[in-house]
Amino acid sequence: MGLLTLRRRKEMTLGIDIYEIKLDEDFLMSSLFTVAEVALANLGLAGLLESEVDVVVGGLGLGYTARAVLEHSKVRELLIVETLEEVIEWHQQGLLPLGEQLTSDFRCRFVQGDFFAMSASRARGFDPENRGRRYHAILLDVDHSPRNVLHLSHASFYESDGLRRLTSHLLPGGVFGLWSNDPPDEQFQVALSEVFAYYETHVVTFSNPIQCRDEANTVYVARNE
């Protein structure tokens, strides 16, 4: 997919260290902006009424969505699917601030693999130790948006057929949550409405302290029948 790099730099104007993951010259994640990543977890799990839930997070990144999931006491198990082995190793080696917290939580397990290929295979699923397993929630933060994908092979996932394949991995009443860097996408919302019983779109605003302005991401939350 390209050259993956992890960078730690001091932001002198704020007096803090910032961690960034880049793919070639494309920023995938920054520890400066994590509000919407946390919101993905909280909004995705908010509607689950079960006392114990099993969750998949697609895309490990710096780990902020995963940590937010684990802060919910009802989470029984979290399976994190990450394509890039280096990202998993950075957490396991303690190179990232949340690495120790994630790797030491007995509920959390890393799986190195292609989330989109796993989603497309009903028989295979996300858990190599339990093929075909279904989950209460699947939360995804990999591409920039449904229209701005990191690899062309991801594009079909955001269409109706791709979303239908995803639902085979959800329990009845289960939730699919998606982070997007773009404003609400009308075409993607049509696909959601064709597949899911119900969906919501949340615009999450947060401060950009370097540019002294607000920014916004989108979180989609859809419920399986």
Question: How does the average pLDDT of the chain come out, rounded?
Answer: 95
Per-residue pLDDT of 75-90, as tens digits, reads 999 999 999 999 999 9
Q: What is the pLDDT of residue 146?
A: 98
In a domain, residue 192? The reply is yes
pLDDT at position 1: 66
Residue 11 included in any domain: no
Q: Exposed, middle or buried by CB within 10 Å (0-12, 13-18, 19+), for 2?
A: exposed
Asked if 56 contacts 37 with a C-beta cutoff of 8 angstroms, the reply is: no
Does 6 fall in a domain?
no
Answer yes or no: is 143 within a domain: yes
Q: Is residue 5 part of a domain?
A: no
State the pLDDT at residue 211: 78
- With cut-offs at 50, 70 and 90, classify the pLDDT of residue 143: very high
Cα gap 189→222, rounded to integer Å: 10
CB of 139 closer than 8 Å to CB of 40: yes
Q: What single DSSP character describes residue 50?
A: -
**Is residue 19 a part of any domain in this protein?**
no
Is position 1 within any domain? no
Range of the domain at 50: 32-223
Q: Tally the domains of the chain.
A: 1
Q: What is the pLDDT of residues 161-179, one digit of tens each?
A: 999 999 999 999 999 999 9
For residue 166, which amino acid is it? L
Q: In this prediction, what percent of the chain has a pLDDT beyond 70?
A: 100
Q: Are 163 and 191 in contact (CB under 8 A)?
A: yes
CATH number of the domain within which 171 lies:
3.40.50.150
This prediction has a pTM of 0.96
In a domain, 23, yes or no: no
- pLDDT tens per residue across span 192-219: 999 999 999 999 999 887 778 899 999 9
